[in-house]
Amino acid sequence: MALSWWRLELPVLPELEESLLWKLNALGIPRVAVRHRPEAPDQRQLVAWLPEADWPEPERQQLEQAIAPLAATFGLTLPAIAWEHQDDEDWSLSWKQHWEPDPVGQRLLILPAWLDLPAEHADRLVIRMDPGSAFGTGSHPTTRLCLEAIEQLAEQRGGAGSPNLGPIRVADLGCGSGILGIAALLQGARSVAAADTDSLAVRATGDNAQVSGFAGRLTVELGSVERLAELLNGQPADLLLCNILAPVIEALCPAFHTVLAADGLGLLSGLLVDQAPRLQQALAEQGWRAELTAQQSQWGLMTIRRA
């Protein structure tokens, strides 16, 4: 007998996207997508599918109560959740309906692995991904801030006519989907060492490196900053990419010297602009000079160098 499903639909406020994806996964709800159009990246709709037999009305009410506090953390109110009943379907096709080519900055294009390269974007550097794996599809403001910062760094080092990061070594801490490391490789980086504490993120990064043609130059392992330091074999990287929440960055920054060279550069995102002063102080105590160099809405990107 075919399964029936409840389809949850919820407008996604930019501040809540990562938290909602994490919470739903933690609650055992893996079938999740975030719909958005490239021309309107802030207008996104979260969609999740729940087996009808496992989610009667009392459980659905409890789910709503479980995710509502996520909005309160940011001083927001969770938008109304819509529930729709639907019959079984081909999930792989469902994923594919929600994604389109997504240009970022001046030169990058995030392209779902099953789509052909559109002619109008033929001159862009293509990050091929399987968005069905979630973990950072490029739509969140913090991810876009990092991608744009990598692009700008390539312009500074190679010139506007031939932007290139040069043969640098990159460390990606909390790599998620691997999108940032892949973007760095596309723009001339020699190699990427990546780590994440989520095994599904590690698998997603490996898969996306494969479809983007960088399996031999991107190494990813399960773990945090200690494991990343081991992957670097005692030679800290020239560029550190770290798109995780500000409290986690603060907790990890005492070990940054093990993954970022003394003359290297770090790009940190995942933080709210009003969290920047505290994080700058924590980094300064560890010998790093930190500047808030870009922001989108209330999200910020911080650049760090040795003081």
The pLDDT of residue 132 is above 90: no
Find the radius of gyration of the CA atoms of the chain: 20
Highest mean pLDDT among 51-55, 245-249, 264-268: 264-268
The pLDDT of residue 24 is above 60: yes
The pLDDT of residue 14 is above 80: no
User: Which residue would you say has higher pLDDT here, 57 or 86?
Assistant: 57
What average pLDDT does the chain have?
87
Task: Please give the pLDDT value at position 219.
Answer: 97
Percent of the chain with pLDDT over 70: 92
The three-class DSSP label of residue 50 is strand
Percent of the chain with pLDDT over 90: 49
Question: Distance between CA 187 and CA 153 in Å, rounded?
Answer: 10
Task: Please give the pLDDT value at position 83.
Answer: 94
Nearest Cα to Cα of residue 221 among 197, 242, 243:
197
Question: Distance between CA 273 and CA 111 in Å, rounded?
Answer: 29
**Tokens standing for 294?**
């870009």
Confidence of residue 180 (pLDDT cuts 50, 70, 90): very high
Domains delineated in the chain:
4-97 (3.30.70.120), 102-306 (3.40.50.150)
